[in-house]
Amino acid sequence: MLFAAIFLLSSKQDVISREITLSAEIIKEISNNISEEYITCGAYYTLLVDEIVSNNDSIAVEMTKYSRNAALEYAFLIAQEGRSQEMAEKITLAKLELNMKSLLEQMKNDGENFSILMNQYENRCQEIMEYPDKMMGEWSYRILKNHLLKVE
């Protein structure tokens, strides 16, 4: 599906209007980045559930499970862009596994080091879950700007 978008690029002295047609390739690139963010947050929330279960705070556990499930559902839905449902599921699960391994490596497989992950992911994950349009806009802008710069 093709869309048209108008972008305003500022230089020091002028503003240039450009129209760029979003190809399936560009849409898929944007979707992949958005899906990856949700997968990373799904992995983070999965590990967070393990951390807070020991605190016996059932409300916090349920809220975190809800965030994890929502993040992974969004990742899966977005991963379907240009793919079959089966392939999107396989890719989402494979990326989740890779992200889980990466996060565990960052904390040296030691739950005592979970604060490393909180420092890096807590705010961003909360932000994209509360304001998904902002994150989607950020990725669209980044990818389209890259493609526009290649055209110049």
pLDDT along the chain (152 residues), means of 10: 31 36 81 96 95 85 96 96 93 96 95 94 97 94 85 56
Q: For residue 20, is it within any domain? A: no
Q: For residue 9, is it within any domain? A: no
Residue-by-residue DSSP string for 13-55: S-EEEEEEEE-HHHHHHHHHHHHHHHHHHHHHHHHHHHHHHTT
Q: For residue 7, is it within any domain? A: no
Can you give the residue range of the structural domain that contains 75? 28-147
Q: What is the CA radius of gyration of the chain?
A: 18
Q: For residue 2, is it within any domain? A: no
Q: For residue 10, is it within any domain? A: no
Q: For residue 21, is it within any domain? A: no
> Which tokens go with 82?
């240009």
Return the SS3 of 83. Answer: coil
Please name which of 112, 85, 103 lies closest in space to residue 41, comparing C-alpha atoms: 103
Helix H or strand E segment including 67: helix 58-79
Number of domains, the chain? 1
Please name which of 38, 51, 69, 67 lies closest in space to residue 139, comparing C-alpha atoms: 38
Q: For residue 91, is it within any domain? A: yes
